[in-house]
Structures are given as structure tokens and as C-alpha cells.
Structure 1
Amino acid sequence: MGAETEVYDVLGIGIGPFNLGMAALVENVAEIQGVFLDENEAFEWHGGMLLDGTSLQVPFLADLVTMADPKSPYSFLQYLQEKDRLYAFYFYEKFHIPRLEYNDYCQWAAEKLSSCRFGRRVTNVSFLEEGRLYKVEAVRSNAETPEYYYARHIVTGTGTKPSLPLWAEKGEDVCHSADYRYRRKELLQKKSITVAGSGQSAAEVFLDLLKKRPEYGYRLHWYTRSSGFFPMEYSKLGLEHFSPEYISYFYHLDSYTKEQLLQKQNLLYKGISADTIAAVYDELYEQTIGGASEDIILQANTEVMNTERTLAGKMKLFLKKINYGTEYTEETEGLIAATGYQPSPQPFLRGIEASLRRDNHGRLQIDEKYRAVQTEKNHHVFIQNGEMHTHGVGAPDLGLGAHRNAVIINQIADREVYPVRSKNVFQQFEREKTGVFA
């Protein structure tokens, strides 16, 4: 390492909302010099689902910084001010902003932050005993030789990738909902389209296709193996599960109890918003004036078991009615698999794999302060949105991103840069401690 090489206090791998928020929050912290790398050429947040009329599922206060630093120059309100939209938003009178605008806001912040460097794919992280530093290797999209960065701490924020079951092999006639906007033009030319899956993404894709059906005339089916098209839990006390207190409560449970709880909490984060359900129903009502349409089917308790392509170029779906156990087939020309996401692989960690601790499922062990448990105690690998198994349902929630970043930044700076308050909600989540509940 030459004398001219800069040593960063923190290096972020991946620039999604969480690491982008980290970059914004450390921008004016004198003792922290950060750099953030991403393999994409520019910021885009779930581009394939940036549909007109869709809204963020958390309030606008869940921006990159506000819940840790309301005075930050990178807040959503500051973005509105600079875009000359503050009064427009004032008269808009909505707490939940358009998803397109959230993406535009994040792009605005990314362009302002010189620490964010796109078009750089991290290929390896190693630890140099001499110098006690992480060495990060990255490859630029327009260069053959790698770049090297040196940092005292690493924070990963590589997010998730679409999860496709075996029956949804990609092809001309099938795509994951994450690619829907990119594939919509060709899908609209089909004579029959099927949406498989449950949750908000499935509902938004179905609604978008439903609105266009009168113009294009295709048959439209929506199957889900869930027991119904149910709304996400959005009561005010239910939302308190996305709080620092609940994170602390969940973290101190034993592993078995955590797994059991997560299986019961799907509707806290996997349901459909009540507004989207209402919009689907209203559109169905208007399209069936004068008589029900046999070309529109919504069916719960139905699982796609397999698919095969027919000689006629269509796709045969092998379906199972879960409650009856009966199986049957349907044909479709287009299939959208709204089958969720899974953590993105992090092969770049192979250089420090020997120092990392994993559980019986191969997942990183992560301590309460978001540090991957490893033998190196003073130079940490922090984890963003990869700790649901240890910290609970709030891991992917945008509203907790600034809180998690505050906890991480305070550790890197070794002082309280941003206050982390212990009392934020009205209800008490019991945590047993030396015979009493805290």
C-alpha cells in the first residue's frame, strides 16, 4: 500500500437506500471518511416495479436521513424544496409518496454525494494484518484492471434478488414481477396472462394489467397459494413492530422462537395494502357492469406446481387446489411470477470467510449492533438488510434504515453522532432480564 493511497473509515458495498442513507449521514461527520461502491451505472430502486399510481408503503419521513437527522440537507423535504415542489406536496396532502418520486429523490441524493461511486463491482474483500485494514478489490465496467480500496470497516448493503421457483424458468413468456415494467409491452400483446403469487407486487401487477385489459382484450388470471387476498397489517399498534424496541426484544429471543415468530408475521410485511385491494375491487366492479366476465379469474388456495410449453407455443400450468388436493391444468401465453425475493449472494466475502461465523443454515451470525460476528474484533463488517433472522421483520423496512445507520455510525465514530433513543413506542415488548421484564 503506497503512501498516497487513501484509507477510508468505512467502505460500503452496494448502494441501495440503506447504504445511500449511510453515505448521506456520514457526509458531514468530520472523523468519518467514507466511500460507497455499486456495480450498476446509476441508482435505480426496483425499476421493474416503478409503475404509475403505485406508492411507497411507508411514510415520506422514512427517507434516507430524517429519522436520524431531521436537519440533514439530504431529507425528502429538502429535495422537494430544491425541486420547487414543496407547495405542490403540501397541497398533495398524502403521507405516502409515489414510488417514482422516491426513486427520483434517491437519485437526487446519489448525484450530490461524491462518496457514491457507481459502475464498480466488488470482487473480493481481504484483511491485511499489516496495517489492520480491509483491502477491497473492485472492477470497473469500462476497465480491465481492478481498483483497490482500503478501509477500517465494511458495510454491506447488497439487498435482495428475485426468487424464482423451478417452474418459472425465464423465457419469452415468463418473467419475475421485478422485471414487469421492462417486459410489459410484449406481455400486453398476449391473448392470456397469468399472475402467480401473493403480496403487494402481485396485486400491483394484476391491477396494472386489469386496467389495460379493456384495450387489449386478454384473459387475465391471478392465482395465489395463500388462503386469501388479505391486507397487510397496518394498524398503528401493529406498526410498532417496526421499532427499535421490537428489534431489541426480537434479538434476545432464542433461535427457535425467532423462526416460529417470523413464520407467523407474514401479514406484517407480505400482505397487500388496503388501498390496492380497494383499487382492484373497484376496477373489477366497473369492468363487470352488465355481467360478470369469464375472462377474469382471481383464485386463492391455488398453487402452481409446474409448467411446460405446448407445441402450440403456449404454457401449460399444472395447478393444485390446496384445500381439496385436486390437480388440473390451464393454458396461458404469459406468466408473471410474483414470488418474492431472497438475499443477494455476497461472493466478495470469500477472502474473509474464515473469520466469519455462520449459523446452522449458513447465515451470518450478526450481533445486536449489526456487526457480523468474526474473529477480528476491532474492524467490523456491518450488515444492512441481511439480519431478519437475528433482528426480525424490520430488517428490510425503510423506516428503520436511518436508525440502523445511526447505530453503525456511532460505533465507527466511537461517539454519539446521532442519538439512539430507547423509548419510541407506547407498547412494551417484554424482554426477560435477570428475573424482571425490561
Structure 2
Amino acid sequence: MQIHDLIGIGFGPSNIALAIALDEKRHHGQFVDALFIEKQQGFVWHKNMLLDNAHMQISFIKDLATLRNPSSRFTFLNYLHEKQRLQDFVNLKTFFPSRHEFNDYLGWAAAQFEDRCAYGESVFEVVPEMRGSEVQLVRVRSRQADGSVRERLARNLVVSVGGVPKIPARFQPFRDDPRVFHSSSYLEAIARHPKAERIAIVGAGQSAAEIFMDLQSHPNKPAVDLIMRARSIKPSDDSPFVNEIFNADFTDFVFNRSQPERAELLEEFWHTNYAAPDLELIQQIFNVFYRQRVAGVARHGFLRRHEVTAVRGRGRRPPVAARPQHRSARRAWLRRRDPRHRIRARRPQDAARSARAVPGRLHGRPQLPAAGHAGTEAGHLPARRLRNQPRAQRHAAVGHCHPVRRDRAGAAGSESTAGAAGACLRAYAAAGRRDLTLWTSRGDTLNKNRSYYRSQDRPSALPYRRLVIPSRS
């Protein structure tokens, strides 16, 4: 049996770059017998995410060869030259080619190594060949398309199989349901739903953002809901010092670190590559939501600080249940359903935690008052402490409380923020059989809705009003 110097499992960008480096060594008299095994029938690179308007997130200079050998014939610039598009690409004045073009570049490079890649074989076992206490060779077993098994021996093994779709546990029972699919199969899956009316996207990374924008041009114009744990979509960090982690010498630095140190590095630089879309894409998404606010039509939804709590297949539409992440008064916002896509939002039921909750800085629907923020009618609010609170925190229940169409607290049909906030706060006051007092600045939105409040001037030099929310007792 032939013994190869190296066997590579997978033939994506990483192993293509390795094949190029070994090929250039061969031209300098350093021959390495390398063979690559790929389970696909031909070269494939994210075929289901080759969206029309998607571009690369990294510069074309970080191609398969340039940073290692700028004079290599496998550079992206040489690819453009051979395709007779170099001058036109220069006129684009961009460092970021389209994903379609970069996929074509990778396929162009892979095609030059077809004699060194076994396509259509899936590796299922790697067995060490021992001589004494040392591993001398590795035996690689792969299964071909016709079911036959093939064995090969190698002195070195390189594993470059790419990422594996991560399916959350709550979606595992629906892996075979065509209505629930991972972004890695997006184009094929969405083509099976040409008449989709409402689509929920779980996540806030680059793929989720690209899919959201791609659905804007879907023929059926479906309504789309973004569901994410975070408060906002954060851009990827590609600042110069942070980008040093992608330098070649940083690989050796990470390799020599302990496992806990590696974990710290991954956490520190998480937003360079995970759950962090490009800033330009974030601006496009924000523009979509802004335009629908201008039009006064709530077509798309943005469920921030939510997590998926349950998925149930029911009829032709599988509902997804989502729960907000931040804590709030259990009685202030009761469970609600959004009939548009059957997403259920529910407040946490931990009353002990709710009793300690205070308004969030930038989010938060009406929450249980805490001492120093609000209290009963007989309570006291120190002026100094109030003066030190950010306006966004003082008015969390006002500026970030959205109207709810189907809320048992009585906010149904409310068109104003004040109406929704007032109904929810009154519901809590009624449940507690006591009045609530909220300190807010004069002229605030809450003061304009006098159907829910009666106001009393606070004897203080500070321009604040004390708003008493009467109970129903």
C-alpha cells in the first residue's frame, strides 16, 4: 500500500492554500506527496449562502497565497488577470469582492489540483499505526459513493473539515421539517417556500443579517422577524490592533498557550467573527425598520433580548415561543402572543427577582419600582439620587415601552407609548391594591395622557412631577 507524506481531510480554502504552498515547494525541489479527500462531488464553498448582494468581509489581499508569497500564481490578482477582469476590478475601487466572485476564485484554484484530490469520499475512521510506543503512520478509511471502503496510509494528517451547523436543542425535533432550516441551507430551503408570508430569523450574526436583507427582495415579500438575545446588533471589530490576531505569527502564539488561556482569547476576540455583522449591513437593516416607521406599517418585527423557549409543530405553521431576557415586574406585562408568526413572549415568573428589579438603562418595559427610583404615594425620592440617574434610566418605562395589541393589562388598541406604559403600570397597581408614584420630568409624554394619571406638583426646585397611579381598590 502506498504511503503518502500527507493526507488532508477536506478540500476547502484552508487545504487549498496548503496544497498551493506544497506545490510551490515542489517547484523548488522539495517534493511532498500529498493527497486530499473531499466528501463533496466537486468543489463547494457555502453554496447556499452565495447571495446576490453578499460581499466578502475581508480584503482580497488575504487570499490563498498573497500574504505568504505575493509572487504566487495563485493570488486573487493573478486570477483576475487570467479572467481578463483586472482593470475593471481596479475601477471598482474596493478591497471586498462579491462572494460570488471569490467563490469563483476558489474554484479556479481548486481545479488546478484535481489530480491530488479524491472527491466523493467521506472519511469515517482514522486509526494510528503504532511501532512500539510511537505513532509511525495513520490509516485513513473512507467510504466512496458506491459504498465501497478505501484505506490509505500517511505520515502526516491534516484535518480541515470546516464548520458544522449547530442546531439548538429545542429545534432538534424539527430537523426534518422543511419549515425549519439552518442558514447553511438557506437558498435551497427558501426556494421550497415561494409563497412564504412570515419568516422568523433566530440570531443576530452576519448570516442572519444577510438573510434578513435578502428576504427584502423575495418575490412574495414576506414579513420577517429578527429574534436575538442581545439588546442590539453589534458590528464586527476589525480595528487595526484587533486584526493582529489574524497575523501568521499569532497562530504560533495561540498554539503555545494553555487551554484556559485559549478560552480567554476566544472570549476576548469573540466579536471579530461571531454574532457580529458588518456595520454597513447593520445600517441597511436599521434603514428598513426606519422606512416602515415612516410608512406607519409594522411589516417586520425586531424581538431584541428574547430567547427561544419552545417550538411546537402545529398544522401547517410551527409556532416559536420566545421569552424576553431582561427582568421586569411579573404582573406589569402579562403573557402575550403575536398572531403574525405565533411567537410567544413571556415575562420571567421569578417574583423574588422582580422585587429587586429596577428600570434598565437602555431597555426595559415597566418594572417594579425600587427605593430611590419610585415608590408608593407616601414614599420619598432623594433629589440627589434622582439627579444622578441617566435620563434613559429614569424614563425606561416611558421611552422604551411599546404598545401591545393583545395585553390583558388593558393596553389593547393603545396607540401611544404613554397609553401602553400607563395601562401596564395601572395593572400592577391594581394587583398590589396600592397607588404607585412615578417621578418624571414636566411635559413628559406621561403627563399628556391624563386618562391614566392625576399629577401632583412636587415641592422641589427640580423640574419634576410626581405622578400618582391610582389603584382600583
Structure 1 residues 32, 250: CA separation in 2 closer, same or farther (over 3 Å shift)?
closer
1:308 to 306, 309, 312: 312
Q: Which residue of 1 aligns with 2:161?
A: 158
Aligned-partner SS, 1:29: helix
2:6 to 7, 10, 20: 10
In the alignment, structure 2 segments of 5+ residues that lack a partner are 344-473
1:158 to partner: Cα distance: 0.8
Check whether the contact 1:174–1:334 (CA below 8 A) recurs between aligned residues: no
Check whether the contact 1:137–1:149 (CA below 8 A) recurs between aligned residues: yes
Structure 1 residues 146, 46: CA separation in 2 closer, same or farther (over 3 Å shift)?
same
- Amino acid corresponding to residue 76 of structure 2 in structure 1: F
Larger Rg: 2
Structure 1 residues 153, 25: CA separation in 2 closer, same or farther (over 3 Å shift)?
same
- Amino acid corresponding to residue 273 of structure 1 in structure 2: D
Q: Which residue of 2 aligns with 1:19?
A: 15
Matched, 1:184 2:184: no
2:202 to 183, 196, 200: 196
Q: Which residue of 2 aligns with 1:319?
A: 322
d(CA) in 2 for partners of 1:274, 1:44: 28
Structure 1 residues 251, 148: CA separation in 2 closer, same or farther (over 3 Å shift)?
closer
Taking the TM superposition and a 5 Å limit, the aligned residue runs for 1:25-424 are 25-30=21-26, 31-113=31-113, 114-129=115-130, 132-141=136-145, 143-168=146-171, 169-170=174-175, 171-212=177-218, 215-270=219-274, 271-289=276-294, 291-311=295-315, 313-324=316-327, 328-330=336-338
d(CA) in 2 for partners of 1:24, 1:283: 43
d(CA) in 1 for partners of 2:194, 2:282: 22
Residue-by-residue CA offset, 1:62-121 (whole Å, 9 max, x unaligned): 211222122222211121111111112111111011111111111111111121221111
Identity %: 25
Structure 1 residues 102, 217: CA separation in 2 closer, same or farther (over 3 Å shift)?
closer
Residue-by-residue CA offset, 1:255-300 (whole Å, 9 max, x unaligned): 33432442343212121101111222334444554x2321211122
Check whether the contact 1:187–1:193 (CA below 8 A) recurs between aligned residues: no
d(CA) in 1 for partners of 2:67, 2:342: 42
- Amino acid corresponding to residue 10 of structure 1 in structure 2: L
Structure 1 residues 139, 248: CA separation in 2 closer, same or farther (over 3 Å shift)?
closer
Aligned length: 326
Aligned-partner SS, 1:160: coil
Check whether the contact 2:320–2:342 (CA below 8 A) recurs between aligned residues: no
Aligned-partner SS, 1:222: strand
- Amino acid corresponding to residue 97 of structure 1 in structure 2: P
Check whether the contact 1:49–1:181 (CA below 8 A) recurs between aligned residues: yes
Residue-by-residue CA offset, 1:199-220 (whole Å, 9 max, x unaligned): 10110011111233xx524222
- Amino acid corresponding to residue 125 of structure 2 in structure 1: N
Q: Which piece of structure 1 moves more, 43-52 or 255-264? A: 255-264
Check whether the contact 1:315–1:332 (CA below 8 A) recurs between aligned residues: no
Check whether the contact 1:76–1:105 (CA below 8 A) recurs between aligned residues: yes
1:333 to partner: Cα distance: 6.2
- Amino acid corresponding to residue 9 of structure 1 in structure 2: D
d(CA) in 1 for partners of 2:76, 2:248: 22
Q: Which residue of 1 aligns with 2:408?
A: none
Structure 1 residues 8, 128: CA separation in 2 closer, same or farther (over 3 Å shift)?
same
Residue-by-residue CA offset, 1:221-269 (whole Å, 9 max, x unaligned): 1110122111111222221232245444444544334324423432121
d(CA) in 2 for partners of 1:157, 1:67: 20
d(CA) in 2 for partners of 1:268, 1:235: 9
Aligned-partner SS, 1:28: helix
- Amino acid corresponding to residue 200 of structure 1 in structure 2: Q
d(CA) in 1 for partners of 2:216, 2:85: 32
Aligned-partner SS, 1:90: helix
Check whether the contact 2:215–2:222 (CA below 8 A) recurs between aligned residues: no
d(CA) in 1 for partners of 2:183, 2:36: 28
Q: CA RMSD of the aligned region, Å?
A: 2.4
d(CA) in 2 for partners of 1:133, 1:188: 52
Structure 1 residues 49, 69: CA separation in 2 closer, same or farther (over 3 Å shift)?
same
d(CA) in 2 for partners of 1:167, 1:125: 32
Check whether the contact 1:133–1:150 (CA below 8 A) recurs between aligned residues: yes
Aligned-partner SS, 2:16: helix
d(CA) in 1 for partners of 2:263, 2:211: 30
Check whether the contact 1:192–1:219 (CA below 8 A) recurs between aligned residues: yes
d(CA) in 2 for partners of 1:226, 1:188: 30
d(CA) in 1 for partners of 2:318, 2:128: 50
d(CA) in 1 for partners of 2:280, 2:196: 28
1:22 to partner: Cα distance: 0.8
Aligned-partner SS, 2:234: coil
Aligned-partner SS, 2:156: strand
d(CA) in 2 for partners of 1:75, 1:255: 35
- Amino acid corresponding to residue 136 of structure 1 in structure 2: V
Q: Which piece of structure 1 moves more, 299-308 or 25-34? A: 25-34
Structure 1 residues 324, 205: CA separation in 2 closer, same or farther (over 3 Å shift)?
same
Structure 1 residues 332, 163: CA separation in 2 closer, same or farther (over 3 Å shift)?
farther
d(CA) in 2 for partners of 1:172, 1:135: 39
